[in-house]
Amino acid sequence: MEIQTKEIVNFIKELVHIPSPSGDTAAAIKYMKDFFEENKISYVMTNKGAIIATIKGEDDSKHRLLTAHVDTLGAMVKEIKSDGRLKLDQIGGYYWNTIEGEYCNIHTSNGKSYSGTVLMHQTAAHVYKGMNDLKRDEKNMEVRVDQPFRSKKDAEEAGISVGDFVSFTPRFEETESGFIKSRHLDDKASVAILMYLIKEIQQLSLALPYTTHFLISNNEEIGYGGNSNIPEATVEYLAVDMGAIGDGQSTDEFTVSICAKDSGGPYHFGLRKHLTALAEKHNIEFKVDIYPYYGSDATAAIRAGADVAHGLIGPGIDASHAYERTHVSSLKNTTALIKEYLLSPLV
């Protein structure tokens, strides 16, 4: 059955428009819960707020686990300034300049949401000389809330308080040339791929050789999304997350990236060779790469002591942790490799 990338893109579009900065992912997890119920997939919720779906395989003595995460970068209100603007504290690892001028939403604890824009305090060119030389950091960046606030009291009376979550507007766009541009492709593009494959498995009644778990984690951006709740019978653990693009990297926006090593050290060599052999056998375009400043849920699991063969693959994502972009061909190649992996023998 040919891979329908349009359906994957539709899943991505729906996912990126659900605000889910790490720590405030309930809406995205509910979306996944509804998806699993609609497709009659059994699942369990974890105490950390993640969700694990399971499809029984022909062999139930040894299990596989695949994970992708719905949590994203974001921020939290650190301080309400005297003029009603907001100072932020970061959630996840990104540079302040990558969100300068970005639209955002402040999510209050009483359920209200207010739009705003992340700006330098000294943005007005007609007022502040040399603002271009100022550092983009937590001291100079602020949120201009789209409300007639004139004071800290105004913001507080509207329900805004320290600790409120702030999400960044995705600005999703699909181009005629096949590119997908959006914030939060890390890692909602991978979640969409798993959704597509799960739906296909159910619709076609595909028999998986091993019982397989799909962990949708919710704390990956802060380092511990998928290191617990791993079923005891799991022997292989595959993280599906973005491939990072830049100078010196082999990853691109058109192939599936297979990671050999990240900040946590080498991935399981046998599993990596198995993945590259599958790609070569089935004419799936791939690149092998190393990410020195990257850590996946699989890395977190190994560091927590999980006794599994661990791997990492994913679509190539340009401008990671900023305004990201990928191409439908990368989505297609990643989907094809995961499908072949799901149907293949254990390492």
Residue 110 lies in a domain: yes
Residue 174 lies in a domain: no
Q: What is the pLDDT of residue 131?
A: 83
Q: What is the pLDDT of residue 139?
A: 95
Is the domain of 206 the same as that of 304?
A: yes
State pTM to two decimals: 0.97
Residue at a domain's end among 134, 168, 202: 168
Phi first, then psi: give them for residue 270, nearest 5 degrees: -65, -40
Is the domain of 54 the same as that of 78?
A: no
Residue 247 lies in a domain: yes
Q: What is the pLDDT of residue 246?
A: 97
Is the domain of 221 the same as that of 264?
A: yes
Residue 54 lies in a domain: yes
Residue 67 lies in a domain: yes
Is the domain of 338 the same as that of 226?
A: yes
Residue 161 belongs to a domain with what CATH number? 2.40.30.40
Instruction: State the residue range of the domain holding 90.
Output: 74-168
Annotated catalytic residue, options 102, 157, 220, 324 = 220
Task: Provide DSSP, 84-136.
Answer: S-EEEEEESS--GGGGTT-EEEEE-TTS-EEEEEEEETT--TTT-TTGGGS--
Instruction: Return the bridge partners of 214, or none.
Output: 53, 66
Residue 175 lies in a domain: no
Is the domain of 233 the same as that of 304?
A: yes
Is the domain of 205 the same as that of 291?
A: yes
Q: What is the pLDDT of residue 321?
A: 98
Q: What is the pLDDT of residue 180?
A: 98
Number of independent structural domains in the chain: 2
- Residues in Cβ contact with 21 at an 8 Å cutoff, skipping those fewer than 6 apart: 71, 72, 73, 74, 75, 76, 91, 92, 165, 166, 167, 221
Q: Specify whether 220 is catalytic.
A: yes
Is the domain of 217 the same as that of 194?
A: yes
Residue 57 belongs to a domain with what CATH number? 3.40.630.10
Residue 234 lies in a domain: yes
Q: What is the pLDDT of residue 1?
A: 75
Is the domain of 237 the same as that of 263?
A: yes
Residue at a domain's end among 168, 193, 226: 168
Residue 325 lies in a domain: yes
Is the domain of 107 the same as that of 135?
A: yes
Mean pLDDT, consecutive 10-residue segments, the chain of 347 residues?
94 98 98 98 97 98 98 98 98 97 97 97 92 92 98 98 98 98 98 98 96 98 92 98 98 98 97 98 98 95 97 98 98 98 98
